[in-house]
Structure 1
């Protein structure tokens, strides 16, 4: 699989399963989707679903998919797999597949995903995917996993977590701009006493460094908290092979 994300979530396995398998709850924490709806299920067939993603305020791309899960496995883990496709001509993502794994550990669950997809638009699409979409998808998945973790561990709803992130990013940006502007005021600093002229730039540099490099607050979701490289060699679950291709 092209992308791999893993989060360690200190929560009950059943609760994690519910908040990832219920479309109404899934769409609340997953930044990649605006809407997820299960379609009427045909007995004996995998679950079909429809998804939509708001790319811009005036542009929403939609697609369909199929999924299947293994809730009871001999080793105590659980697995969910899916295939998906979007026929929308403006969707760079044409089709793909992936899985979620739920691995119980002593203090919670290792919740991990592996997925890959095929971009459209030929060579131009391949370049756009490599340098824009794929890094963005990796970040959005990791950020969403951490938002889910905050919901389960701390009771911070996905909506509150989003506002926490926006508030922190705004505060960091304003601090960085203010510090940069202050450091650029050479003539003003020269007019101050030597001690103050030395101390003010030092404080501005410290504040700028904190705004740019300080770890995110504990109540703010952050992609950096997730593992982005598999610790060992991983393979797609067998249940993925039972799902037909989407088109």
Structure 2
């Protein structure tokens, strides 16, 4: 594929079996992964790779669906685990036409390095390629990292994905309110009435305080109970290679 693949890694202090379950069970996977609204396993014969259907609600009135095939290696000689998949969407409004990726579970001390690498081919020709490079691909990378941190909070601190989303929305609204109030200068307008003769001297200090408030709202690290993409590694520490398992999977149609 023509674009650089996406990579996200999170270190999660959790039991490997529990992490495996939260990521391989469709009902649990769709709760924490922002990229999917619904994931459903399709019937399969014994020994065949697992086929699945996925759907993503792009807008309240628009849902984009696709199909995929996946396989996992739960027991490997080095103690790691791997899951690989290929996926495609025939929906004409889906920018993502087809792609492939993998998850790796690497035990690391008292935790697990949970990482993914994936890539896809956009549709819509040159327009799609530009939209993907400028908007969709960065958004997909952010959504993956944000979702990985939401999964981490669920496993490490017992914060459910639903609560984590509510925390994120609340913090986002508070930050937006601070920026709005500070930028409109509401506090400065009330100085003469509130402070009388001290208003003139405080008027010099107020712009500085407003600037500090805006900077804090924009750049302060998210609260510990709020998911944040910035907590995840977005560049592989070494050259990342897709697992051999991926080559055994055919493209879903």
Match of 2:233 in 1: 227
Counterpart-to-counterpart distance in 2, 1:180 and 1:160 = 30
Counterpart-to-counterpart distance in 2, 1:32 and 1:146 = 13
The equivalences for 1:33-182 within 5 A come to 33-182=36-185
Farther-moved stretch of structure 1 (194-203 vs 104-113): 194-203
Instruction: Note the aligned Cα RMSD (angstroms).
Output: 1.8
- Structure 2 residue matching 1:40: 3-state secondary structure: coil
- Structure 1 residue matching 2:221: 3-state secondary structure: coil
CA contact (8 A) 1:61 1:88 kept: yes
CA contact (8 A) 1:183 1:204 kept: no
Q: Give unmatched runs, 5+ long, in structure 1.
A: none
How many residue pairs end up in the alignment? 247
Counterpart-to-counterpart distance in 2, 1:208 and 1:107 = 39
Counterpart-to-counterpart distance in 2, 1:14 and 1:44 = 22
Alignment counterpart, residue 12 of structure 2, candidates 9, 12, 26: 9
CA contact (8 A) 2:87 2:100 kept: yes
| 1:193, distance to aligned residue in structure 2 (A) | 3.0
What TM-score do you get using the length of structure 1 for normalisation?
A: 0.96
Counterpart-to-counterpart distance in 2, 1:182 and 1:135 = 34
Counterpart-to-counterpart distance in 2, 1:56 and 1:170 = 21
- Structure 2 residue matching 1:193: 3-state secondary structure: helix
What TM-score do you get using the length of structure 2 for normalisation?
A: 0.94
Q: Deviations over 1:145-183 (max 9, x none)?
A: 000000000000000000000000000001001001117
Q: Deviations over 1:12-66 (max 9, x none)?
A: 1000000000000000000000000000111221000000000000000100000
| 1:194, distance to aligned residue in structure 2 (A) | 3.3
Q: Give unmatched runs, 5+ long, in structure 2.
A: none
